[in-house]
Amino acid sequence: MGSKNTIKRADAMRSIEAIEQAAAECLGRNPEASMSEIARAAGVGRVTLYAHFASRAEVVDAAMSRAIDRGNEALDTVDLTGDPLLALARYVEAGWHLVDQARSLLVAAQKELSAGRIRELHSGPAARVETLVARGRAEGAFRTDLPIAWLVNTLHTIMHSAAEEIRAGRLTSDRAAHHITATVLAAFTPPGKPVPEPDGGN
Quick: pLDDT tens for 168-196: 999 998 899 999 999 999 999 999 999 98
With a CB cutoff of 8 Å and minimum separation 6, the contacts of 130 are 148, 149, 152
Given a cut of 70, is residue 200 above it in pLDDT?
A: no
3 state SS of 114: coil
**Average pLDDT of the chain, as a whole number:** 89
Give CA–CA dist 2/177, Å, rounded: 53
Give CA–CA dist 86/179, Å, rounded: 15
Quick: pLDDT tens for 29-72: 899 999 999 999 999 999 999 999 999 999 999 999 998 888 88
Backbone φ and ψ for 169, nearest 5 degrees, come out as: 80, 15
